[in-house]
Amino acid sequence: MFKNPNGRTLYEITLNHADGRKYLVCYASGTPSRRRMISALQKRWDSVQGITLMTEWAICKGKNLQAGDWTIQYSGRTEWEAANSDSELTYVGA
């Protein structure tokens, strides 16, 4: 499995719309958790809000965040898997 320079596996967090649009929010190190996902959303709030036009997000069961037709979640892929796949996602920005 791919490891970043500090030795940790990075997990992909994505922003998904019900119509199939998908964006890369970030890669997070450590065990996937709701806390890391909320932190990622907070750090990229302006960019995510610019794409979604949503101002309030609800915490759902599991590790998902929901706003209207938008969901933020762990994709299930590592950074290495994403880099070696045929589906590159657009980065939401910082």
From residue 27, alpha-carbon distances to 22, 32, 37, 74 in Å are 14, 10, 10, 9
pTM over 0.85: yes
- What pLDDT does 1 receive? 43
pLDDT along the chain (94 residues), means of 10: 65 96 93 90 92 89 87 92 88 81
